[in-house]
Amino acid sequence: MSVTIFLGDSHSHGWYDKNNITYSWQDNNYAEIFANKNKMPVAIYSMPSASNKKFPIWLKVLFDIYTDVKQVFVQSTYWHRWMIGEVLDNERVECKIDNFTKCISNDNLIHRYTDIEKSNGLKEVGIQIPLKVSKKLFSNKIDPDHSPYFVVKAIHELCTHLQYREYCMDLFVIDSICKQRNVPCTIWRINDKCLLPKNLNLFGDLSIKFAPLSADTYFKQKNIDMNNFKLDEEHYNKEMHEMIAADYIQWLINLPS
């Protein structure tokens, strides 16, 4: 049976924080609910604080694993996230596409994948760490705990045309991978704080679909406030994820190409 792929950050990871203790792969996961509700196999590749740069890599990893893919859903996320890395063997900077991939679990319906910080290969030892800019950085007073690198990265790259070009490039790669296998792909957002520029065809015409409404805006139009379903400051409970799986994802599927 063909598999449906979901890529995303902590919202696709069943993640939340309670009393400074974090939980992963819990029942607040729309993708797993979608799989169980529709009896449809899904492959979920997610990581808390994942950046959009991750998604083309993860898509290629899963396309190498699964020969029969029905559809792809990418939860486009915040632009203030990025990765840093370190190569422990200076003579080896190349690595396999799945060098940081870890399969968490794999049953009949739900296949879970994530990234680890240290590479899997014995000879290809590298480290990667997800980072994001604190909200404090954009206030009038710079947080002294942040190094100058964070300031330059945020103000002179992540909030500029440079990041826009990178974002469009990543979309072009995602589109190209899906076109090779003739697999439909939909880009969506959990809320409107995740930027989605009007012109996304910077490197060529894209065939992937873009949801015109974020999940938050979609439910607001139905008089449902997602903020009423939060487990912590950012993440939503199982009830909200059930609505995303049953209503919003179905709306995404029915969007015209």
* pLDDT given for residue 81 in this prediction: 83
Residue type, 201: N
Residue type, 231: L
Q: For the chain, what is the radius of gyration of the CA atoms?
A: 18
Q: Counting beta carbons within 10 angstroms of the beta carbon of residue 28, is it exposed (0 to 12), middle (13 to 18) or buried (19 or more)?
A: buried
pLDDT in tens, 64-96: 999 999 999 999 999 888 787 777 666 566 778
Identify the CA nearest to 78 among candidates 185, 178, 165, 163.
163
**How would residue 121 be classed by pLDDT, with cut points 50, 70 and 90?**
low
pLDDT in tens, 159-197: 788 889 999 999 999 999 999 999 999 999 999 999 999
**How would residue 154 be classed by pLDDT, with cut points 50, 70 and 90?**
confident
Rounded to whole angstroms, what are the CA distances from 43 to 49, 74, 109, 199, 228?
A: 19, 12, 8, 30, 29
In order of start, what are the domains of the chain with their CATH numbers? 3-80+102-115+161-254 (3.40.50.1110)
- Residue 42 pairs in a beta bridge with 4, 110
Token pair recorded at residue 123:
């000879």
| Share of the chain residues as helix, strand and coil, in percent rounded to the nearest 5 | 35, 25, 40
Rounded Cα distance, 35 and 193, in Å: 27
Token pair recorded at residue 95:
């690595």
End-to-end CA distance of the chain: 24
Q: Is the pLDDT of residue 22 over 70?
A: yes
- Residue 81 pairs in a beta bridge with 132
Strands 3-8, 42-46: pairing is: parallel
8 Å CB contact between 98 and 66: no
Classify residue 214 by its DSSP letter.
-
DSSP 158-203: ITSHHHHHHHHHHHHHHHHHHHHHT--EEEEESSTTS---S---TT
* pLDDT given for residue 127 in this prediction: 60
